[in-house]
Structure 1
């Protein structure tokens, strides 16, 4: 089954080169050239096929015969699938159609292009408010905590209908919940605290219904018996986890990327390049959901000539696919260049499990990055050496641990 001459990797890793912390692992490029589908080791007892080419990864993600159900034998995941807590998000993201399709349809209306367009005014106001708050902070400022992570938290809170008086508590509970270095007991405590908060919100929305997602799910799904309390809680947790670190991580990475490539920032400011295209290119090269997705073959099948047997796990690496030189050319961080046309990428996945919140994420990242560079045109990095970048190792998604900047004076005539 193994391709002739292909290496058998000892251990699957996402660690980038030490001197190039914002790039993909070097061996991904080697595999794309020499062995596009290779066996990798996840643990002492678990292995999987790693797909590294764009077309192969896309084919796996589109094929419903590759199952997302983590309970299937051979599913390539380390540790306990979905966690041991009675309420876990695995019941949603690790399901197959038609059950997954039914669940997905319940939340799609909140994230359609029209719904996001309707929320644009609030998103803009939330970003301006965070920009205003930056001015009062001592310099240098850590934009990860004070800006990048705060914005998606504000937006998600609004979508959920969290009262303004509870947004700070909501953000603190969310930050704790997304920390992957917690012990199992600590994670259960964090989950219990977040669930208690959600129960408070459910009770509040029953007493005071609003134009928000929690009210909608209570009225249309919970009260009709279509879902129970645990599924409602799971929905809320999934949307928070999916839209918090990913979007916040991309905002910080976007700011850092443009500050490190002033020639590209100049093209944006002069109108020679599009902010929308810049966002897509940054989504592609950074691919913050680096550890996923994972699948297991439900039957014997073939991917572009490669045979996969039923019960074998596969890792279709979105990170590797988005750096496929045959499709994109050089993709190291140092090579960052905004193309003239929007790149097609897999940063939000593909197929039935592609990110439901991608329309919202694009707007949040684009507006947040553009507005801060507009407000503070002379902002500079405290340390601009890429090799000194520290990435988060306590989170499930890729991102900067901190982004220290000197803001400089605010631009005249910019809203503040």
Structure 2
């Protein structure tokens, strides 16, 4: 294989850890669809422009099936994903599973959850106020809020949170041996399988009960697949939002004028959150696909069997799509709707309305409760987490 670059991550080569790496920005201008090296002595096409990424995510010739030969995995010992991990399904299987979940995550149902989210936010901030300084914001607020929310929505006992939190960290860790990731998945699946059985015997008003009673017991969805669906929802649903809260807090502290705008107009909060979602580099590893037929992306021919990596963090900083994209500007309003933080097309994040609701409530409430909030360490000392699937922080010490 020729000596090619690999996908750069935020913070590579000492760059600002919340910015698009300089190489990605340069490639976006000079060679927006280019070959890069991926694990296994193979190559894949890296796509960095916003329009090209959105177009590619709508193309049925790009498959999400990680089992296809040539798929651009993140590691040489990539462990198999459990059945039911529908983010790796193509239609019609993907369509069938996703429809089972649509009702729970519809905006009108999420709206009914907002009072409960507000209650959880207030409770966590009350507890945080009693802690000695410095406080690890990620541990005290960023992580518990989406964990509580997902537990209540799915019907997972919050007291069992360490079971899936600990295993999630191992599953997402790109540096762990594949067999350890498989073992962590096994523990999570075993736990959720037992929970599904318990809900089938004594159903409640939650998503696990719904799957147990209305899908598994009717034969519509095999138990093994239902457990995989729940694992994906629980894993991605709490870890992504937790990191958005922590990274969003850092970003607002680094942009005090923007923070004042967030707090100065309640009606503008939803649009401001969209700008934060555009700005933050959460899925720094890109969305990965495999071509099932020849197609063209950005004027480049991609052959069947070739891997494609869609660099959505670069797409969200594309000057062709957003004016001065490297600047956080909460006044962009709803013009930022086209961002790629949730993906695009049929695989666009099913839980995005829930994540939005939490961010819209949590971030203003945090700064209103603690107006003197600031980092307890120098920004350069913040321990950013780039060894996992989702970018974030290991911890975030703050004082006020």
Instruction: Give the secondary structure class of the aligned counterpart of 2:184.
Output: helix
1:62 maps to which residue? 58
Deviation, 1:177, is 4.5
More displaced 10-residue stretch of structure 1: 101-110 or 387-396: 387-396
Which whole-Å CA distance do the structure 2 matches of 1:74 and 1:32 have between them?
A: 24
1:331 maps to which residue? 325
Deviation, 1:324, is 0.3
> What is the total number of aligned residue pairs between the two structures?
396
Instruction: Give the secondary structure class of the aligned counterpart of 2:19.
Output: coil
Q: Return the TM-score normalized by structure 1.
A: 0.89
Which whole-Å CA distance do the structure 2 matches of 1:53 and 1:227 have between them?
A: 38
Note the alpha carbon deviations across 1:107-143, whole angstroms, 9 max, x for none: 1111110111111111111111111111221101011
The answer to whether the 8 A contact 1:61-1:350 is kept is yes
* 2:33 paired with 1:37: yes
2:226 maps to which residue? 232
1:390 maps to which residue? 383
2:197 maps to which residue? 203
Q: 1:81 to 1:223 in 2, by over 3 A?
A: farther
Q: 1:132 to 1:172 in 2, by over 3 A?
A: farther
Which whole-Å CA distance do the structure 2 matches of 1:171 and 1:73 have between them?
A: 32
Note the alpha carbon deviations across 1:245-290, whole angstroms, 9 max, x for none: 2110000111111111111111222229821122111111113112
Instruction: Give the secondary structure class of the aligned counterpart of 2:149.
Output: helix
* 2:9 paired with 1:14: yes
Which whole-Å CA distance do the structure 1 matches of 2:76 and 2:97 have between them?
A: 23
Instruction: Give the secondary structure class of the aligned counterpart of 1:274.
Output: helix
Note the alpha carbon deviations across 1:156-196, whole angstroms, 9 max, x for none: 10011123544455545544544444333433332233223
1:94 maps to which residue? 88
Which whole-Å CA distance do the structure 2 matches of 1:405 and 1:101 have between them?
A: 43
Which whole-Å CA distance do the structure 2 matches of 1:170 and 1:316 have between them?
A: 29
The answer to whether the 8 A contact 1:9-1:39 is kept is yes
2:79 maps to which residue? 83
1:117 maps to which residue? 111
Task: Work out which of the residue numbers 236, 246, 253 in structure 1 matches 2:240.
Answer: 246
1:414 maps to which residue? none
Task: Work out which of the residue numbers 247, 250, 274 in structure 1 matches 2:268.
Answer: 274
1:46 maps to which residue? 42
Q: 1:142 to 1:313 in 2, by over 3 A?
A: same
Unaligned runs of 5+ in 2: none
Q: Return the TM-score normalized by structure 2.
A: 0.92
Unaligned runs of 5+ in 1: 1-6, 409-416
More displaced 10-residue stretch of structure 1: 154-163 or 193-202: 193-202
Task: Work out which of the residue numbers 363, 377, 382 in structure 1 matches 2:371.
Answer: 377
The answer to whether the 8 A contact 1:70-1:81 is kept is no
Deviation, 1:9, is 3.4
Instruction: Give the secondary structure class of the aligned counterpart of 1:70.
Output: coil
Instruction: Give the secondary structure class of the aligned counterpart of 2:282.
Output: coil
Q: 1:301 to 1:174 in 2, by over 3 A?
A: closer
More displaced 10-residue stretch of structure 1: 167-176 or 61-70: 167-176
The answer to whether the 8 A contact 1:82-1:88 is kept is no
Deviation, 1:71, is 1.8
Q: 1:301 to 1:188 in 2, by over 3 A?
A: closer
Task: Work out which of the residue numbers 354, 360, 365 in structure 1 matches 2:354.
Answer: 360
The answer to whether the 8 A contact 2:40-2:76 is kept is no
The answer to whether the 8 A contact 2:47-2:308 is kept is yes
Which whole-Å CA distance do the structure 1 matches of 2:298 and 2:386 have between them?
A: 35
Task: Work out which of the residue numbers 190, 201, 221 in structure 1 matches 2:215.
Answer: 221
Q: 1:339 to 1:179 in 2, by over 3 A?
A: same
Q: 1:222 to 1:80 in 2, by over 3 A?
A: farther
Instruction: Give the secondary structure class of the aligned counterpart of 1:377.
Output: coil
Which whole-Å CA distance do the structure 1 matches of 2:16 and 2:140 have between them?
A: 26
Which whole-Å CA distance do the structure 2 matches of 1:164 and 1:95 have between them?
A: 29
Q: 1:117 to 1:84 in 2, by over 3 A?
A: same
2:304 maps to which residue? 310
Q: 1:13 to 1:19 in 2, by over 3 A?
A: closer
The answer to whether the 8 A contact 2:189-2:228 is kept is no
The answer to whether the 8 A contact 1:157-1:170 is kept is no
Instruction: Give the secondary structure class of the aligned counterpart of 1:302.
Output: strand
